[in-house]
Amino acid sequence: MGGEWGQSDICPEAAQEWTVQVGQDLLVDMDLGAITKYSALHAKPSGLILQYGTAGFRTKAEHLDHVMFRMGLLAALRSKQTKSTIGVMVTASHNPEEDNGVKLVDPLGEMLAPSWEEHATCLANAEEQDMQRVLIDISEKEAVNLQQDAFVVVGRDTRPSSEKLSQSVIDGVTVLGGQFHDYGLLTTPQLHYMVYCRNTGGRYGKATLEGYYQKLSKAFVELIKQASCSGDEYRSLKVDCANGIGALKLREMEHYFSQGLSVQLFNDGSKGKLNHLCGADFVKSHQKPPHGMEIKSNERCCSFDGDADRIVYYYYDADGHFHLIDGDKIATLISSFLKELLVEIGESLNIGVVQTAYANGSSTQYLEEVMKVPVYCTKTGVKHLHHKAQEFDIGVYFEANGHGTALFSTAVEMKIKQSEQLEEKKRKAAKMLENIIDLFNQAAGDAISDMLVIEAILALKGLTVQQWDALYTDLPNRQLKVQVADRRVISTTNAERQAVTPPGLQEAINDLVKKYKLSRAFVRPSGTEDVVRVYAEADSQESADHLAHEVSLAVFQLAGGIGERPQPGF
């Protein structure tokens, strides 16, 4: 994590005097001697402050041993409190190989509840001698029954540091008397899936890798069977796996769905370094193809990120131009298809698309004006989008960076059950919807699942990658970073689209935006790096670049820029 934010700022309760009377029962129920002994084996480097950010804790792997042990403790407490299985994933997603991270997964496969994120930060930052006190404090505040059983499932990515760190998580779970299942190597969305399955009595699926592979592949093959032969007849796809876990899992899975799609894996971890010059984050932010992949014109390609929860597509056209198809265009393809299915079934179920401020203006316009699908904007970070998407019968959410999925309410499942009585054509559409629902990972955005959904839709609609890309044209855009002394001086409103502080910044942005056509710009403090992010779009790349630069200068001047002034040119 960036930002060495002061401990008392992020964890007020840890700075308070320890005056709460600890109930005798609590002390008996926690084996404090064992906790102290094990904690010393996973000692916290004194003074190190980290924060549970949008994607959990993330920093250099060598600083994370104590965090892992303590997140094991916290997961056990959360499991006791919710009387459910809790997940712990050891990964740092698209970060460099030397980094690592950890996040907790709540009972329905969702991100950890916000109040527990605060507990996570307090517990991770408590100095060794205060750790027990913070642990007891959390148990009291959350009324955790310590006699309740705890069950925690653990997964990890392929980083060299992940195996040892996940063992530290397990140490934390067991010292609180919790049971665990170590899934070993998993993609992040696979762990979310396992947690969801385990807490819904198997109704969502079987909580094994075999269960995951079979559920998705069966749905995919069923869908492909219904496709007539048009579009790209021979269905094959090149997949850049970012030298990460996605390669291992896709390789395990491919024979389950090979009758519907053949995948060719690149950056499969056999040579290159994780996320280095490859993967979804690299392709999206540099707007160029990954290294290590040979691409012929009009070949459909996609990239996963390091833990396989993001996906972007791309291709080269016949003139040698690179075309990126990001999360916005993925959301458009998916929501258009789902809306058409609903119309065919004749249902009045509602559908909504959730985006963030980063969504390209053309995508929002296309969805609202051409597809007539309502679009909503939330703050960046999957938990915000996921939460909003739950409000609809069908909620499709995607960040432009390729992280997203679709959620289906019980009303949709009920309608499908009733479809037996419908006429043939409607029944067929309902069956298709049923398979599409099975193919989505509703617990979390999932590169493998999204890839199969996209491939199925392209096949069913007979669309080539170029036709998909041509749905609308992205407005040229530019993203920049600005270094400031304290990024907290920037606060935002309206789903991060407007700056509230520092004074004058939003007015300056408004004035700059007025100078360009079809333009829009916003700034926000990053939740994962110690920088301020700047986004600008306009009618031409030159204008978008100029606008982004001018906004960066405004941030530098008004929000306490440090180091060199932002320079023009990219």
Instruction: List residues with catalytic annotation.
Output: 93
How many residues touch ligand 16G (CB under 6 A)? Answer: 13
User: By the 8 A CB rule, do 55 and 384 touch?
Assistant: no
How many residues touch Mg ion (CB under 5 A)? Answer: 4
- Asked if residue 528 binds ligand 16G (CB under 6 A), the reply is yes
CB 380, min distance to ligand 16G, A: 5
Cross-strand bridge partners of residue 295: none
- Asked if residue 307 binds Mg ion (CB under 5 A), the reply is yes
Name the one range near ligand 16G by CB under 6 A: 265-273, 421-429, 510-518, 525-533. 525-533
User: By the 8 A CB rule, do 158 and 274 touch?
Assistant: yes
- Asked if residue 279 binds ligand 16G (CB under 6 A), the reply is no
Amino acid at 331: A
CB 340, min distance to ligand 16G, A: 28
Q: Which tokens in the block code for residue 453?
A: 């959904």
CB-nearer residue toward ligand 16G: 112 or 341: 112
Closest CA to 92 of 194, 288, 250, 244: 244
Task: Give the integer Cα–Cα distance in Å for 203 and 206.
Answer: 8
Task: Give the integer Cα–Cα distance in Å for 481 and 116.
Answer: 30
CB 524, min distance to ligand 16G, A: 7
Q: Which tokens in the block code for residue 37?
A: 């002994």
State the pairing for strand pair 85-90/477-482. Answer: unpaired
- Asked if residue 446 binds Mg ion (CB under 5 A), the reply is no
- Asked if residue 7 binds ligand 16G (CB under 6 A), the reply is no
552 Cβ contact list (under 8 Å, min separation 6): 480, 482, 534, 566
- Residue 528, contacted partner among Mg ion, ligand 16G, none, CB below 5-8 A by kind: ligand 16G
- Asked if residue 401 binds ligand 16G (CB under 6 A), the reply is yes
- Asked if residue 137 binds Mg ion (CB under 5 A), the reply is no
Q: Which tokens in the block code for residue 506?
A: 């939003």
- Residue 309 assigned as binding residue: yes
Beta carbons within 10 angstroms of residue 16's beta carbon: 11
- Asked if residue 72 binds ligand 16G (CB under 6 A), the reply is no
State the pairing for strand pair 99-105/85-90. Answer: antiparallel
- Residue 305, contacted partner among Mg ion, ligand 16G, none, CB below 5-8 A by kind: Mg ion
Reported in sequence order, the residue ranges of 361-468 that DSSP labels E, i.e. its strands, are 375-378, 394-398, 404-408
Name the one range near Mg ion by CB under 5 A: 285-293, 298-306, 368-376, 432-440. 298-306
- Residue 526 assigned as binding residue: yes
- Residue 399 assigned as binding residue: yes
CB 162, min distance to ligand 16G, A: 17
- Residue 240 assigned as binding residue: no
Choosing from 93, 166, 441, 543, the residue that interacts with Mg ion (CB under 5 A) is 93
- Three-class SS of residue 129? helix
Beta carbons within 10 angstroms of residue 33's beta carbon: 8
Choosing from 307, 399, 438, 455, the residue that interacts with ligand 16G (CB under 6 A) is 399
Closest CA to 479 of 386, 360, 559: 360
CB 3, min distance to Mg ion, A: 20
- Residue 388, contacted partner among ligand 16G, Mg ion, none, CB below 5-8 A by kind: none
User: By the 8 A CB rule, do 10 and 126 touch?
Assistant: no
Q: Cα dist. 56→11, 117, 254, 319, 358 in Å?
A: 16, 8, 30, 43, 21
- Residue 380, contacted partner among Mg ion, ligand 16G, none, CB below 5-8 A by kind: ligand 16G
- Residue 307, contacted partner among Mg ion, ligand 16G, none, CB below 5-8 A by kind: Mg ion
- Residue 298 assigned as binding residue: no
Choosing from 30, 55, 223, 538, the residue that interacts with ligand 16G (CB under 6 A) is 55
Q: Cα dist. 174→14, 64, 79, 475 in Å?
A: 25, 18, 13, 52
CB 310, min distance to Mg ion, A: 5
CB 232, min distance to ligand 16G, A: 30
Name the one range near ligand 16G by CB under 6 A: 200-208, 248-256, 366-374, 522-530. 522-530
Burial of residue 493, with CB atoms counted within 10 A of its CB: 0-12 exposed, 13-18 middle, 19 or more buried = exposed
- Asked if residue 388 binds ligand 16G (CB under 6 A), the reply is no
Choosing from 382, 412, 521, 538, the residue that interacts with ligand 16G (CB under 6 A) is 382
Burial of residue 292, with CB atoms counted within 10 A of its CB: 0-12 exposed, 13-18 middle, 19 or more buried = middle
- Asked if residue 281 binds Mg ion (CB under 5 A), the reply is no
- Asked if residue 2 binds ligand 16G (CB under 6 A), the reply is no
Interface with Mg ion by CB under 5 A: which residues? 93, 305, 307, 309
Q: Which residues are known binding-site members?
A: 93, 305, 307, 309, 399-401, 524-528, 533
Interface with ligand 16G by CB under 6 A: which residues? 54-55, 380-382, 399, 401, 403, 526-529, 533
